[in-house]
Structure 1
C-alpha cells in the first residue's frame, strides 16, 4: 500500500488549513506504520509500556469516533476496542488483531468524521457534549484538538518505529 502525505497549503482559508493539517497528521501516522508486519505493529515500545503502533492507530480510531460521532454529531456510537473490563483496550491488540482490520476501521472512522464535519461550520457548536465538562464544543476546537492529538501520538510513533527497525523520518 502506497501512502501519500499531502503537505498543507501555506495560504488558504482557516478551514482548509485546519483540515489540511489534520489530514497531514493522519497520513503521517499511516506512514509510521508502513512496511511493517502485524507482529511488528503489535510490538510494544519499551517495558513497562505496552504502547505499540497498532495500539496507537486503534486509539486514533476511537478518538475520531469520540469527537466526530459522539460529540460533534451526538451519535450513539459505542466503543470499538475498549470495554468496561478493559478501558484502555485499544492499546492492547492481541495476536488475532491485524493491521488490515485496524487500518480499515481507522479509515472508516476518518470517512465518517469528514462527512459529519462537512455538515458544520467552524463556529457551529456540537450536537453532543464534552464528556467531562458537559459543554457543546465548536468544530474549530475539535479540529485543533485532533491536530494536537495526532501530533503528540506521531511523536510516540516515531520512537516506536525507530525501536522496531531503526527507521526515522518526519
Structure 2
C-alpha cells in the first residue's frame, strides 16, 4: 500500500483548507509507518524515549477520539488504550500489540471524527467541554489543534523512522 498525500488547493476556502491539511498530516503519519514490521513499529528508536511509531498511531487514535467524539459531539466514548492506572497506556506496547489493530482503530476514529465534524459549522461551539479547561472550543479550534498535534508528532515519526531503517522524507 502506498499512501497518497495531497495538499489542499492553495485557493481552497477555509474549511477545505483546514480539513485538507488535517488529512495531509493523517496521511503523512500513515506514510511514515509504511513498509515496517510490527516489531519495528513497536520499537522505541530514540533513547531514552519510549516513543514508537505504533505508540504514536495509538496516541492519535486516542486524540481523535477525545476531540471529535468526547468534546465536539459530547459522546460518551471511553479510553481505548489508557486507564487511570496507566495514563500513557497507548505508548506501553507489548508483543501482542499489532499494526493491524492499531491502524484499524486509528482509521475508525478518523472516520468518526469526519462524521462528527461534518455536522458542525467551523464557528460552532462543541457540545462537550475540554476536560482540563471546561471550555467549549469551536470546530475551527479543534481542527487547528489537530493539525498542530499531527504536525508535531509527524516530526517525531520522521526521527523514529530514520533510526529504524535510515529512510528520510519530507
In which range does the TM-score fall when normalised by the shorter chain?
over 0.9
* Residue 46 of structure 1: how far off its partner (Å): 2.1
Partners of 1:145 and 1:130 in 2: how far apart? 12
Partners of 1:7 and 1:94 in 2: how far apart? 35
1:67-102 Cα offsets, whole Å, 9 max, x none, are 000000000000000111110000112100000110
* Residue 6 of structure 1: how far off its partner (Å): 1.3
1:28-56 Cα offsets, whole Å, 9 max, x none, are 00000000000000010222211000000
Find the counterpart in structure 2 of residue 132 from structure 1: 132
1:118-163 Cα offsets, whole Å, 9 max, x none, are 0000000000001111011100000000000000000000000000
TM-score normalised by L of structure 2 = 0.98
The correspondence of residues 13-32 of structure 1 with structure 2, limited to 5 A, is: 13-32=13-32
* Residue 2 of structure 1: how far off its partner (Å): 2.3
Corresponding position: 1:169 with 2:165: no
Q: RMSD of the TM alignment (CA)?
A: 0.6
Partners of 1:28 and 1:17 in 2: how far apart? 16
Find the counterpart in structure 1 of residue 4 from structure 2: 4
**Runs of at least 4 residues of structure 1 off by over 4 A?**
none
Partners of 1:2 and 1:98 in 2: how far apart? 19
Partners of 1:83 and 1:29 in 2: how far apart? 25
Find the counterpart in structure 2 of residue 83 from structure 1: 83
- Unaligned segments of structure 1, at least 5 residues: none
TM-score normalised by L of structure 1 = 0.98
The correspondence of residues 153-168 of structure 1 with structure 2, limited to 5 A, is: 153-168=153-168
Aligned length: 170
Find the counterpart in structure 2 of residue 142 from structure 1: 142
- Unaligned segments of structure 2, at least 5 residues: none
